[in-house]
Amino acid sequence: MSQGALLVEDMPVEGCSPMGGVISVWTLNRPSKLNALNRDSHTAIKEQCARVEAEDSIRAVVIKGAPPPPVEDGGRSKPTAFAAGADISEFVGKSSDDVRSFFGNNAWEAVWALSKPTIAMVDGFALGGGTELALACDIRVASSRAKFGQPEINLGLIPGGGGTQRLCRLLGYGKAMEMTLTGEMVGAEDALRLGLVNKVVEPDKLEVEAMQMAEVIARKSPHTVRVAKRAVRAALDLPFSEGILAERSEFIALFDTEDKEIGVKAFLERNDAEWVGR
User: For the residues of 49-103, what is the DSSP string, one character each?
Assistant: HHHHHH-TTEEEEEEEEPPPPPPPTTPPPPPPEEE-SB-GGGGTT--HHHHHHHH
Residue closer to ligand COA by CB (options 68, 243) is 68
Q: How far is the CB of 111 from ligand COA (least distance, A)?
A: 17
The verdict on whether 207 is a catalytic residue reads no
222 contributes a contact to ligand COA by CB under 6 A: no
Site string for ligand COA, 56-75 (x = CB under 6 A): --------------------
Distance of CA 200 to the CA centre of its chain: 15
Q: What residues between 129 and 148 interact with ligand COA by CB under 6 A? A: 129
151 contributes a contact to ligand COA by CB under 6 A: yes
Residue closer to ligand COA by CB (options 87, 215) is 87
Which residue intervals of 195-221 are DSSP H helices? 206-218
123 contributes a contact to ligand COA by CB under 6 A: no
Residue closer to ligand COA by CB (options 47, 90) is 90
Catalytic annotation, pick one of 72, 90, 132, 269: 132
Q: How far is the CB of 33 from ligand COA (least distance, A)?
A: 4
Which residue intervals of the chain are DSSP H helices? 39-54, 96-104, 107-112, 129-136, 163-171, 173-182, 188-194, 206-218, 222-237, 240-253, 258-268
The residue type at 134:
A
Report d(CA 205, CA 112) in Å as an integer. Answer: 26
The verdict on whether 132 is a catalytic residue reads yes
Contact 151, 178 (CB under 8 A): no
Site string for ligand COA, 101-120 (x = CB under 6 A): --------------------
Among 44, 87, 126, 138, binds ligand COA (CB under 6 A): 87
The residue type at 239:
P
Residue closer to ligand COA by CB (options 58, 84) is 84
Distance of CA 26 to the CA centre of its chain: 10
Q: How far is the CB of 28 from ligand COA (least distance, A)?
A: 12
Q: How far is the CB of 100 from ligand COA (least distance, A)?
A: 17
Q: Which among 86, 115, 114 is positioned nearest to 102, based on CA atoms?
A: 86
- Stretch touching ligand COA by CB under 6 A, among 14-22, 77-85, 211-219, 245-253: 77-85
Q: How far is the CB of 65 from ligand COA (least distance, A)?
A: 12
Beta pairing partners, 21: 13
Sheet holding 81-83, edge to edge: 81-83, 125-127, 147-149, 186-187
- Stretch touching ligand COA by CB under 6 A, among 40-48, 58-66, 112-120, 151-159: 151-159
Label residue 69 left, alpha or beta by phi (over 0 means left) and psi (-120 to 50 means alpha).
beta
The residues carrying an active-site annotation are 132, 152
Residues at the contact surface with ligand COA, assessed by CB under 6 A: 33-34, 36, 78-79, 84-89, 125, 127-129, 151-152, 155
